[in-house]
Chains A and B, each alone.
Chain A
Amino acid sequence: MQFFAENKTNWLKAHFGKFVLVKGSELIGVYDNAETAIAEGAKRFGAESFLVRQLNEEKDVYIPALALGLLDAHPA
Chain B
Amino acid sequence: MPILHSQFQAEGKTPDGKIIQLPAQVGLAVRGPLVQVTVSLADQIASELIKQGKAIPPPVQGLALIDTGAGSTCIDEEAAQKLQLPVVNVVNMASASHASAKANVYPAKFQITGLPMNFNAPMSIGAPHAVQGLIALIGRDVLQHCTLIYNAHLGQISLCI
Interface residues of A in 43-76 (CB under 8 A from B): 43, 45-53, 58, 60-69, 71-72
Bound complex: CA A57 to CA B89 (Å): 15
The answer to whether the Cβ of A34 comes within 8 Å of any Cβ in the partner chain is yes
- Interface residues of A, Cβ cutoff 8 Å to B: 1, 34-35, 38-39, 41-43, 45-53, 58, 60-69, 71-72
User: Which residues does chain A contribute within 8 Å of B127, judged by CB atoms?
Assistant: 63, 66
Total B residues in contact with A, Cβ cutoff 8 Å: 44
Whether B65 lies near A67 (C-beta < 8 A) is: no
Closest chain A residue to B73, Cβ basis: A63
Contact partner of B70 (CB less than 8 A), chosen from A39, A51, A64, A69, is A64
Bound complex: CA A58 to CA B65 (Å): 26
Whether A61 lies near B86 (C-beta < 8 A) is: no
User: Which residues does chain A contribute within 8 Å of B134, judged by CB atoms?
Assistant: 71
User: Which residues does chain A contribute within 8 Å of B69, judged by CB atoms?
Assistant: 63-65
Bound complex: CA A51 to CA B103 (Å): 13
User: Which residues does chain B contribute within 8 Å of A43, judged by CB atoms?
Assistant: 48
Given contacts A35-B44, A61-B71, is CB(A67)–CB(B122) below 8 Å? no
Interface contact tally, CB-CB below 8 A = 105
Whether A63 lies near B54 (C-beta < 8 A) is: no
The answer to whether the Cβ of B91 comes within 8 Å of any Cβ in the partner chain is yes
The answer to whether the Cβ of B117 comes within 8 Å of any Cβ in the partner chain is no
Interface stretch (choices B5-13, B17-25, B92-100): B92-100
How many Å from the CB of B38 to the closest CB on chain A? Answer: 19
Closest CB pairs A-B (n = 7) = A60-B94, A39-B44, A42-B48, A49-B87, A60-B92, A62-B94, A64-B69
How many Å from the CB of B2 to the closest CB on chain A? Answer: 22
How many Å from the CB of B94 to the closest CB on chain A? Answer: 4
User: Which residues does chain B contribute within 8 Å of A41, judged by CB atoms?
Assistant: 44, 86, 88
The answer to whether the Cβ of B154 comes within 8 Å of any Cβ in the partner chain is no
User: Which residues does chain B contribute within 8 Å of A62, judged by CB atoms?
Assistant: 71, 93-94
Whether B95 lies near A50 (C-beta < 8 A) is: no
User: Which residues does chain A contribute within 8 Å of B89, judged by CB atoms?
Assistant: 51-53
Whether A71 lies near B129 (C-beta < 8 A) is: yes
Whether A71 lies near B122 (C-beta < 8 A) is: no
Whether A34 lies near B87 (C-beta < 8 A) is: no
How many Å from the CB of A63 to the closest CB on chain B? Answer: 5
